[in-house]
């Protein structure tokens, strides 16, 4: 009976998220490590002004994910399997033992800077709900051009699809999606067009940097959300990390793969609810937890699951 930890991507950040971390020695250690590597107090990263930066957002999600996962592990509620959506793949890799936290901090800072420098304005992402991937892809094909680039980026659920592109392209996609019957078509809190070829050059530069760090064999199952399958070799996982900014996110299929590999409980870490809601389309509702709703309850549920006492 495996437990899957799910780490969210950009858009799930919130003001004060690092200040709201649980009071635990693992959190203190994680924040101290981050401060030593970054050369600044990480608690300055989650202010409203700071979170306008892609770099700060991605670092916050990395630090918070690792801190909460370490806290649960210290309390006897570690995962058996991890998966992360976009930037969430990086804390997943740290928790799996593939990357040292210090290396992940340096690489994520570079990742965010590459993305921010490439697209400081005029681009982003939008989410549609109620339409299938082929329906959204058809709309994107109608809009996509050199002047208005647009790409299908995330397949979060069977009827929740994210599109990346220029502001003008996204406006057209949202209008057409609503006309086609979408229940939702709205911009995400994203300043860059992730998970599409617009970031190929930046992913290649990050891959060069990633190749210089030492990667380790995973100590638990790492499921790639770019490939929707488990990866077991360190070199494949770090390659996956480097290129995931330019590759589609196959989140629904990733959850399905985790279920097929034996995951029976899915926990969103550090919490927020976005991934938990998506997981309820794959896992039983009572098998999906949000760490943001209270770590004590999550710890108890995981330990009961491990003992075979039921959910």
Residues 161-187: tens digit of each pLDDT: 999 999 999 999 999 999 999 999 999
Tell me whether strands 123-129 and 184-187 are parallel, antiparallel or unpaired. Answer: antiparallel
Those residues with Cβ within 8 angstroms of residue 170's Cβ, 6 or more apart along the chain or in another chain? 124, 125, 126, 150, 163, 187
Those residues with Cβ within 8 angstroms of residue 20's Cβ, 6 or more apart along the chain or in another chain? none
Confidence (pLDDT) at 247: 97
Using CA atoms, how far residue 184 sits from 92, 175, 190, 227, in Å, is: 29, 10, 17, 27
Those residues with Cβ within 8 angstroms of residue 177's Cβ, 6 or more apart along the chain or in another chain? 128, 131, 136, 139, 185
Confidence (pLDDT) at 206: 98
- Mean of the pLDDT values across residues 273-290? 93
- Mean of the pLDDT values across residues 98-121? 96
Q: With contact defined as beta carbons under 8 Å apart, do 210 and 238 qualify? A: yes
Mean pLDDT of the chain: 95
Confidence (pLDDT) at 309: 59
- Mean of the pLDDT values across residues 105-122? 95
Q: pTM for this structure? A: 0.94
Residue 287 sits at the vertex; the CA angle it makes with 285 and 190, to the nearest 5 degrees, is: 75
Residues 115-127: tens digit of each pLDDT: 999 998 999 999 9
pLDDT of residue 311 exceeding 70: no
- Mean of the pLDDT values across residues 287-291? 95
Three-state SS for 33?
Answer: helix
Confidence (pLDDT) at 139: 98
Q: With contact defined as beta carbons under 8 Å apart, do 150 and 173 qualify? A: yes
Q: How many CB atoms lie within 10 A of CB 125?
A: 24
Quick one: tokens of 39?
A: 């050369």
Length of the chain (residues): 311
Residues 136-148: tens digit of each pLDDT: 999 999 999 999 9
Options 2, 12, 166, 195, the catalytic residue? 195
Q: With contact defined as beta carbons under 8 Å apart, do 285 and 22 qualify? A: no
Options 2, 12, 86, 226, the catalytic residue? 86
Using CA atoms, how far residue 164 sits from 67, 68, 106, in Å, is: 30, 30, 26
CA 80 to chain centre: 18
What is the maximum span of the chain, computed from C-alpha positions, in angstroms?
58
pLDDT of residue 65 exceeding 90: yes
Tell me the backbone φ, ψ of residue 38, rounded to 5 degrees. -80, -20
Confidence (pLDDT) at 310: 53
Q: Which of 292, 242, 288 is nearest to 270 (CA)?
A: 292
Q: With contact defined as beta carbons under 8 Å apart, do 9 and 91 qualify? A: no
Look-up: residue for tokens 């003008």?
A: 168
Confidence (pLDDT) at 31: 98
Residues 207-261: tens digit of each pLDDT: 999 999 999 999 999 999 999 999 999 999 999 999 999 999 999 999 999 999 9
Could you tell me what percent of the chain has a pLDDT over 90? 91
**Any catalytic annotation for residue 19?**
no
Confidence (pLDDT) at 190: 86
Give the torsion sign (CA, 164, 165, 170, 173). Answer: negative
**Any catalytic annotation for residue 216?**
no
Strands (E), 112-205: 123-129, 150-157, 160-166, 184-187
Confidence (pLDDT) at 191: 85
Cis peptide leading into residue 123 (ω within 30°): no
CA 227 to chain centre: 14
Confidence (pLDDT) at 307: 77
Strands (E), 133-262: 150-157, 160-166, 184-187, 221-224, 229-231
């Amino acid at each position: 009976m495996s437990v899957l930890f799910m780490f969210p991507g950009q858009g799930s950040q919130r003001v004060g998220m690092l200040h709201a971390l649980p009071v635990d020695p693992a959190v203190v250690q994680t924040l101290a490590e981050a401060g030593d590597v970054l050369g600044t107090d990480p608690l300055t990263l989650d202010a409203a002004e700071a979170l306008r930066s892609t770099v700060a957002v991605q670092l916050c999600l990395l630090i918070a994910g690792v801190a909460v996962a370490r806290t649960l592990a210290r309390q006897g509620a570690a995962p058996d399997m991890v998966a992360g959506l976009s930037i969430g793949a990086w804390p997943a890799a740290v928790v799996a033992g593939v990357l040292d936290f210090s290396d992940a901090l340096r690489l994520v800072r570079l990742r965010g800077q590459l993305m921010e420098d490439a697209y400081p304005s005029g681009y982003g992402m939008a989410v549609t709900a109620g339409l299938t991937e082929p329906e959204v892809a058809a709309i994107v094909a109608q809009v996509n051009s050199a002047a208005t680039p647009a790409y299908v980026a995330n397949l979060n659920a069977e009827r929740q699809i994210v599109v990346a592109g220029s502001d003008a392209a996204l406006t057209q996609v949202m209008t057409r999606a609503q006309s086609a019957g979408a229940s939702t078509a709205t911009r995400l809190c994203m300043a860059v067009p992730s998970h599409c070829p617009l970031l190929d050059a930046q992913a290649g530069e990050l891959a060069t940097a990633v190749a210089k760090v030492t990667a380790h064999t995973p100590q638990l199952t790492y499921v790639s959300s770019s490939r929707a399958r488990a990866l077991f070799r360190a070199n494949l996982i770090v390659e996956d990390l480097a290129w995931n900014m330019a590759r589609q996110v196959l989140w629904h299929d990733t959850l399905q793969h985790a279920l097929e590999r034996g995951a029976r409980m899915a926990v969103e870490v550090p919490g927020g609810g976005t991934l938990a809601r998506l997981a309820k389309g794959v896992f039983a509702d009572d098998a999906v937890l949000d760490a943001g709703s209270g770590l004590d309850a999550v710890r108890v549920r995981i330990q009961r699951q491990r003992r075979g006492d039921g959910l």
